[in-house]
Amino acid sequence: MWKNFPLFPERASALAWQVDGLYFLLIAVSAFFTLLIFAAIFFFAVKYRRSVHPQAVQIEGSLPLELAWTLIPLGICMIFFAWGSLIYFQEARPPKDAMEVYVVAKQWMWKFEYEDGQRDINQLHVPVGRDVKMIMSSQDAIHSFFVPAFRIKADVLPGRFTTTWFRPTKVGTYHLFCSQYCGTNHSAMIGQVIVMDPAAYQAWMSGGAGSSSGSLAANGQQLFQQLGCATCHRSDTQGRGPNLVGLFGKPVLLDDGRTVIADENYIRESILNPGAKIISGFKPIMPTFQGQVSEENLMALVAYVKSLAQTQPKGEAGDGSSVPNTSKLQ
């Protein structure tokens, strides 16, 4: 639009067009009804002003009119409800092969951890055209991950993972804002999302811009040994705890009859509050690790358990090929 008076942010994700479309439809319909009311009031106020229309005509009401202006707006609203919900469904379902970035939010910065172990502070590098899933948690208060150019937002909670995803469609640098008030420097908790074309992204990744202390999953494997998890969670049937190979993402039957999906939050809860969900057939003897693992370590452990679900065992990190399904990079 007008360069100096923009009315909406750049559209840099696949979703942005849909959200803007809905927005413009809403503006059109709202403008219509607003002008209708304004015009009606203006027209009646002038046409029936006291000096030309001294005697009011008493009209009780009109049932057909009441029904009309109840049901028609309701019908129009249902269109908005449907379209808005469809967009929301998309936002709630990250594609299965999205690349994953783990995010720890804390007062007042964003810490990004890529699967290959690289880390970023306040800057997120992503390749254009690739689905990116953010798995986030907070170390302290509630924050919110907001990228206006992508039209996405998700609160980042302490004690839980929340996720969001996007597919950037345009190379460029975009604002990242924290949009849940979190204290003194809430307005300074901003950053950039840098969308790069695939070649530049590859170059950045191999440049080792972050630390190269091993991939996230490899770190998680180390922790798994250090914390003694491997003692009970063996990869055979002899363990006192469930075998974690191939567990992630599958439904599990609990001892109280419920079935839940073993997602990121399930793994997290099982580490911090193991008594909450016990897999059927196992005893509730796992101790809690509350207070013994940081957010980053939790993410590493989750990444490790996830990696056990791959059909082929993953190698150590370094070249970025631990990111599955590289065909989407083009």
Q: Given the complex with another protein, which of 163 and 322 has the nearer CB atom?
A: 163
Give the pairing type, strands 123-127 and 190-196. Answer: parallel
* Rounded Cα gap, residues 184 and 250, in angstroms: 42
What are 122's strand-pairing partners?
none
Q: How far is the CB of 293 from another protein (least distance, A)?
A: 13
Q: How far is the CB of 40 from another protein (least distance, A)?
A: 5
Contacts of 118 by beta carbon, 8 Å cutoff, 6+ apart? 205, 208, 209, 210, 211, 212
Q: Given the complex with another protein, which of 146 and 248 has the nearer CB atom?
A: 146
Q: How far is the CB of 246 from another protein (least distance, A)?
A: 24
Q: Given the complex with another protein, which of 173 and 212 has the nearer CB atom?
A: 173
Q: How far is the CB of 9 from another protein (least distance, A)?
A: 5
At how many degrees (to 10) do helices 295-307 and 216-226 cross?
Answer: 100
Q: Given the complex with another protein, which of 183 and 228 has the nearer CB atom?
A: 183
Residue by residue, DSSP assigns 221-286 as HHHHHHTTHHHHS-SSTT-SS---TTTTTSEEEBTTS-EEE--HHHHHHHHH-GGG--BTTS-S-P
Q: How far is the CB of 274 from another protein (least distance, A)?
A: 5
Q: Given the complex with another protein, which of 61 and 251 has the nearer CB atom?
A: 61
Q: Given the complex with another protein, which of 153 and 328 has the nearer CB atom?
A: 153
**Amino acid identity, position 117:** G
Q: Given the complex with another protein, which of 152 and 218 has the nearer CB atom?
A: 152
Cα Dmax for the chain? 95
Q: How far is the CB of 317 from another protein (least distance, A)?
A: 30
Q: Given the complex with another protein, which of 204 and 282 has the nearer CB atom?
A: 282
Q: How far is the CB of 156 from another protein (least distance, A)?
A: 9
HSE of 127, CA atoms in CB hemisphere, 13 A: 22
* Rounded Cα gap, residues 280 and 277, in angstroms: 9
Element (H, E) at 216: helix 216-226
CA angle (143, 320, 193) in 5-degree steps = 35
Q: How far is the CB of 63 from another protein (least distance, A)?
A: 9
* Rounded Cα gap, residues 32 and 119, in angstroms: 49
